[in-house]
Amino acid sequence: MSTRDKVIAIIAEQAVLDPSDVTEQSTLEDLGIDSLGLVESIFAIEEEFDISIPFNANDPSESDFDISNVGAIIAGIEKLVAEQS
């Protein structure tokens, strides 16, 4: 599975949706993921890829990690995974 597919699978599970219903344009709000769900997703992604995501739940928009939509999240993860290897 590609990084993209893995991230989508994690987000889909959190949103209780089929992965095919999650697109790169989807926002977390569209998917019905609230702040607690977001923290859980970030945790699951960190565990999956063994990376550390710079994300502060106090003010997500101020974090160095773009969560504006699924595509942005995937791009961020791909960058972190690349940096790690």
Partner 1 sequence: MKRVVITGAGTINALGHSVPETFEAMREGRCGIGQLEFRDVERLAIQIGGQVRGFEAEGRFNRQQMTLYDRFTQFTLTAAEQAIAQAGLEFHGDMAARSGVVLGTAGGGVSTWDDNYRSVYEDGKNRVHPFVVPKLMNNAAASHVSMQYNLKGPSFTVSTACASSNHAMAQAFQMIRSGMAPAMVTGGSESMLCFGGVKAWEGLRVMSKDACRPFSLTRSGMVQGEGAGIFVFEDYEHAKKRGAEILCEVIGYAMSSDASDIVMPSKQGAARAMSGALADARINADEVGYINAHGTGTAANDKTECAAVADVFGPHADRLMISSTKSMHGHLIGGTGAVELLACIMALRDGVIAPTIGYEEPDPECALDVVPNEARDADVSVVLSNAFAFGGLNAVLALRKV
What lies within 8 Å, CB to CB, of 83 at 6+ separation is none
Is 16 an interacting residue with respect to partner 1 (CB under 8 A)? no
Of 17, 23, 18, the C-alpha closest to 4 is: 23
Please, what is the minimum distance in Å from the beta carbon of residue 53 to partner 1? Answer: 9
Decide: helix, strand or coil at residue 75.
helix
84 binds partner 1 (CB under 8 A): no
Size, binding site for partner 1 by CB under 8 A: 12
Which residues ranging from 33 to 72 are in contact with partner 1 (CB under 8 A)? 34-36, 39, 42-43, 52, 55-59
- List of residues contacting partner 1 (CB under 8 A): 34-36, 39, 42-43, 52, 55-59
